Amino acid sequence: MATQEFTAAEERAMQLALGEARRGMRGANPLVGAAVLDADGAVLASGYHRGAGFPHAEIEALANLPEGLDRTTLADCTMVVTLEPCNHQGRTGPCAVAVAEAGIGRLVHASDDQTSAAGGADYLRSRGVDVRSGLCRDAALDLNQRWFKAKSARRPFTTMHIAQTLDGLIAAADGSSQWITSEAARQDSHGIRARVDAIIAGTGTVLADNPRLTARTGNGEPAASQPLRVVMGTRDVPADAAVRGSDGKFLQLHTHDPAEVLDLLAGRGVAHAMIEGGATVAAAFLKVDLVDELVLYLAPLLLGAGTRSTAPLGIGTLADAAHWRWDSSGGGHTTNLGADLRLHLEPAPAGSTPAVRKGL
């Protein structure tokens, strides 16, 4: 598609929309940003999708239009959006319908929707909107590379969390691990628990630590939204294990295969799963490239000896190391949390070894 299809103002607005998209939280839904330009190319409003359960970016951008704007002028306006507007019935109705009903005259989207929610572009065309796609497509695909990968494999998006010392340990030599990270870091990880549909731990962790695996608020109360508590592994989970709870949201999967776990969870409608650990489960998911996002809490401690954050990954030489990249979405790739540092990463796309390392 020829570049001249798009104006310079639309290109600038799409960069703005990509930046807006990165403000959102990864998970069940892709990161999406949108902006509305007037006939002169000035940005009237922008918006982004905060994450599952929040309005889509197009709805946010429309909601952010200036009060008192003459809505009839929207026929001369363009919306740019990083992903094709959805055409499915969510809690706010399809975005394509909302955009058409707002009277937007032209819509430019970066990447196409290849999920069951596709068809938004065709719908908009049928309503007389001038729809164009492909502006900044590569950047938009890159932004949600892992989400697209998970979606095309029809599996949940996965977030792994690790709380470790500077030297990569999650427990001391005697097994003590409570608490390596500060209250603020633990509260942040409870926030992830409250956002996901399921949390996955191994039988080893359940037997060693007897965790509840519930999402709790700052004062220790259960959060409003609770994930399905999934224990993977073949060892028995004791009848009085805390993880069983009494709310029916407990499931043991008698397998060590991460792909099988995710397949079974997808069948139960899980769109976002958190991998809690321990080291064996973490390594199992990492080895087969089934971790889409890594939240690493780094406590300013040194232990020297203890339990490593992951079991061996079958990597023998540096050239085969798993490459990750810093992920600035959802608030930045590095955040101070109490005494700890929160690092946010995602797997680097295959073959994309960073230039700075490659150039050596």
CB of 234 to a second copy, least distance (A): 23
Q: Contact 170/303 with Cβ under 8 angstroms? A: no
By the rule CB under 8 A, 301 interacts with a second copy: yes
Joined together, the tokens standing for residue 104 give 């937007």
Joined together, the tokens standing for residue 39 give 């006939």
Q: What DSSP character marks residue 282?
A: H
- Near a second copy by CB under 8 A: residue from 66, 248, 267, 314: 314
CB of 285 to a second copy, least distance (A): 12
Q: Contact 329/31 with Cβ under 8 angstroms? A: yes
- Near a second copy by CB under 8 A: residue from 144, 164, 205, 329: 164
Q: Contact 21/48 with Cβ under 8 angstroms? A: yes
Name, in order, each residue with C-beta under 8 angstroms of 326's C-beta and a sequence gap of 6 or more.
Answer: 333, 334, 343, 344, 345
Residue 81 gets the label, from left (phi > 0), alpha (psi -120 to 50) or beta, of beta
169 forms bridges with which residues in the sheet? 308
- Only one of the segments 86-94, 127-135, 209-217, 334-342 lies at the binding site for a second copy (rule: CB under 8 A); that segment is 334-342
By the rule CB under 8 A, 312 interacts with a second copy: yes
Count of residues near a second copy by CB under 8 A? 61
- Near a second copy by CB under 8 A: residue from 54, 250, 256, 324: 324
- Near a second copy by CB under 8 A: residue from 7, 15, 182, 280: 182
CB of 141 to a second copy, least distance (A): 21
Q: Which is nearer to a second copy, 322 or 350 (CB)?
A: 322
Name, in order, each residue with C-beta under 8 angstroms of 237's C-beta and a sequence gap of 6 or more.
Answer: 203, 206, 231, 243, 244, 252
- Only one of the segments 32-40, 123-131, 169-177, 270-278 lies at the binding site for a second copy (rule: CB under 8 A); that segment is 169-177
Give the total residue count for the chain: 360
Catalytic pick among 10, 20, 58, 84: 58
Name, in order, each residue with C-beta under 8 angstroms of 351's C-beta and a sequence gap of 6 or more.
Answer: none
Active site residue 5: no
Integer Cα distance of 173 and 50 in angstroms: 41
Q: Which is nearer to a second copy, 2 or 319 (CB)?
A: 319
Largest CA distance in the chain: 70
Q: Which is nearer to a second copy, 269 or 312 (CB)?
A: 312
Query: Which residues would be at the binding site for a second copy (CB under 8 A)?
Result: 164-169, 171-174, 176-180, 182-184, 283, 286, 294, 296, 298, 300-305, 308-326, 334, 336, 338-339, 341, 343, 345, 348, 354, 356-357, 359-360
Give the catalytic positions in this structure. 58
